[in-house]
Amino acid sequence: MEHIPLNFPFLAAALLVAISFYIIIFKKNLIKLIMGIAMLASGVNLFLVSLGYRAGGTAPIYTDVPEGPMVLAVPQALTLTSIVINVAVLALMLTMVIQIHRHTGSLDSEESRKMKG
């Protein structure tokens, strides 16, 4: 593990966030838009977990833990809450896309747009 630079998880999180912004802004398929939001959530969750890392730390559980420092536990609690919220949001978005498809028959965000102006 020593030859991976310490800010590699942050680079990965930033890459995920950047790609997901590109998807949300430029892609026209509604399912791809939902996938972009799921990727944005994954990027932010990865960022939250990786900012709690302390060098040489173990998991923050007291049951039969080896000696040494522990990583921070609070960002893991924040990440868990964020994952639960995103499950609900993704379920809601999928339901709305199913209804849009039922009414208009297409998943293209240009064609399913009824409101203009």
Partner 1 sequence: MLSKIVRTVANQLTLFIVVFGLYVIAHGHITPGGGFQGGAVIVSGVILLLVAFGSQELKKSLPERVLSIVESSGAVLFAILAFAGIGTAFFYNFLVGTPIFGGVPEPGPGAGDIWTGGVIPLMNFAVGLKVIAGLSAVVLAIALFSSGEEVEE
Partner 2 sequence: MDTLITHSSILIIGILLLAAFLTPLVGRVSERARNILVIGSLAFAAALVFALARDISFNGIHVYALGASSPGLATPEGFMVPVRIVLEVDGMSILMGIIWSIVALAATVFSLSHMSKETGQTRFYTLVLLMVAGGFGMMFTGDLFNLFVFLEITSISGAALIASRTRFADTQEGGFKYIVISSVASLMVLFAIGVLYSQYNLLNVGALAQAMQYTMLDRMALVILIAAFAMKLGAVPVHMWLSDAYSVAPVSVTVLLIAASQSCMYALMRTCFTLYGVTADLTAVGWIIIVSGILSMFIGVTMAIRQTDITRLIAYNCICESGFMLVGIGVGLAVLADPGALAAYGTTAISGAIFHMINHALFEGLLFLAAGAIFYRIGTRDLNQMGGLGHTMKFTAVFFLLGALASSGIPPFNGFASKILIYESVYQFSPILTIIGIFVSIITLAVFIKVFFSAFAGAPLPRYKDVKEVPRTMIAAMAVLAVMIILFGLFPGLITDWIIRPATDALLDQAAYINAIVGAIP
Residue ranges in contact with partner 1 by CB under 8 A? 59, 61-65, 67, 80, 84, 87, 91, 94-95, 98
**Which member of 6, 7, 65, 81 binds partner 2 (CB under 8 A)?**
81
Angstrom distances, CA of residue 92 to CA of 7, 44, 86: 34, 20, 10
Measured distance CA(68)–CA(61) in Å, rounded: 12
- Considering only 9, 92, 106, 108, the residue that binds partner 2 (CB under 8 A) is 92
CA–CA separation, 49 and 51 (whole Å): 6
Q: Does 7 bind partner 2 (CB under 8 A)?
A: no
Per-residue binding letters, 49-78, with partner 2 (x by CB under 8 A): --x----------------------xx--x
Residue 67 DSSP class: S
Q: What residues contact 108, with CB distance under 8 A and at least 6 apart?
A: 28, 29, 30
HSE-CB of 34 using CA atoms within 13 angstroms = 17
Instruction: Kindly list the residues in this chain that would bind partner 2 in the complex (CB under 8 A).
Output: 17, 24, 30, 33, 37, 40-41, 44, 47-48, 51, 74-75, 78, 81-82, 85-86, 88-89, 92-93, 95-97, 99-100, 103-104, 112-115, 117
